[in-house]
Amino acid sequence: MLFVDYSSAFNTIIPSLLTTKLGDLGLHTSLCDWISNFLTDRPQSVRVGNCASSTLTLSTGAPQGCVLSPLLYSLYTYDCTATTSSTIIVKFADNTVVTGLISDNDKRAYLEEIKHLENWCQENNLLLNVSKTKELIVDCSKKQERHYQPVRISGTTVERVDSFRYLVVHISQDLSWSHHTNSLAKKARQRLYHLRRLRDFRLPSKVLRNFYTCTIESILTGNITVWFGNSTKQDRQALQRVVRSAERITHT
């Protein structure tokens, strides 16, 4: 798996290219023109206290913090798709992962897919951040460790890692979830301190339970359908200890 990182992805959208793609997707011309007008000739300045910079006019990219920007970026990259049956490109906003099935130690299709992605980025004004792009190899075979050809992008070797945090989930090369559950337990225990402080202020149990649900339970159950089924007994016990501590604090 190749976890791709882009440099300022939202800031590289070319409005004219975006509207062309929107037209290909069947959007009405008037809507395409409205989006183009929204993205071009945008005045921008920086204010600190009573001081303001000169105004700069921007005609590329999508405004940061705008609720429309992630959708426009997703539409802008809709044609970034896999070219072979043994590879898949997974996208969530500007988070992109290239996955490939390597059989008989043959990485050609996987490497060709990465090269295709590199060319696509050049054609669409997206810059790959090679230093933050990471490769993770999942090898479930019980044979001796295999040596795979390293991935190179723009002449730079991509770092290979044992685990990677993708969309808040720690994925390990052996597909174990101890690293992820340990991270969850640690983060949840930190929130228990605040729960105890609220109890010391004699807040009602209902308020304490709401705090637990919002700030602790949400951590423990995040993406739970991905990792819980294959977690070990020890991993689950570590999480259960956090839950029991919260129950004692909230008297539930």
pLDDT for residue 251: 83
pLDDT tens, residue by residue, 69-90 = 999 999 999 999 999 999 999 9
Please indicate, yes or no, whether residues 182 and 120 belong to a single structural domain of this protein. Answer: no
Please indicate, yes or no, whether residues 10 and 112 belong to a single structural domain of this protein. Answer: yes
Model's pTM, two decimal places? 0.88
Please indicate, yes or no, whether residues 199 and 75 belong to a single structural domain of this protein. Answer: no
pLDDT for residue 195: 96
| DSSP secondary structure letters along 72-129 | HHHHHTTT----STTEEEEEETTEEEEEE--BTTB-HHHHHHHHHHHHHHHHTT--B-
Please indicate, yes or no, whether residues 117 and 223 belong to a single structural domain of this protein. Answer: no
Domain span at residue 242? 178-250
Largest CA distance in the chain: 67
pLDDT for residue 210: 96
Please indicate, yes or no, whether residues 139 and 208 belong to a single structural domain of this protein. Answer: no
pLDDT at 146 over 90: no
Please indicate, yes or no, whether residues 77 and 133 belong to a single structural domain of this protein. Answer: yes
C-alpha 26/C-alpha 95 separation (Å) is 25
| Structural domain total, the chain | 2
Please indicate, yes or no, whether residues 114 and 6 belong to a single structural domain of this protein. Answer: yes
In a domain? residue 50: no
In a domain? residue 26: yes
Please indicate, yes or no, whether residues 193 and 138 belong to a single structural domain of this protein. Answer: no
Task: Compute the average pLDDT of residues 239-246.
Answer: 96
Dihedral of the alpha carbons of 185, 186, 191, 197, in degrees to the nearest 10: 110
Task: Compute the average pLDDT of residues 152-177.
Answer: 95
pLDDT at 144 over 70: no
In a domain? residue 138: yes
Please indicate, yes or no, whether residues 132 and 208 belong to a single structural domain of this protein. Answer: no
In a domain? residue 168: no
Handedness of CA 129, 66, 214, 97 (dihedral sign): negative
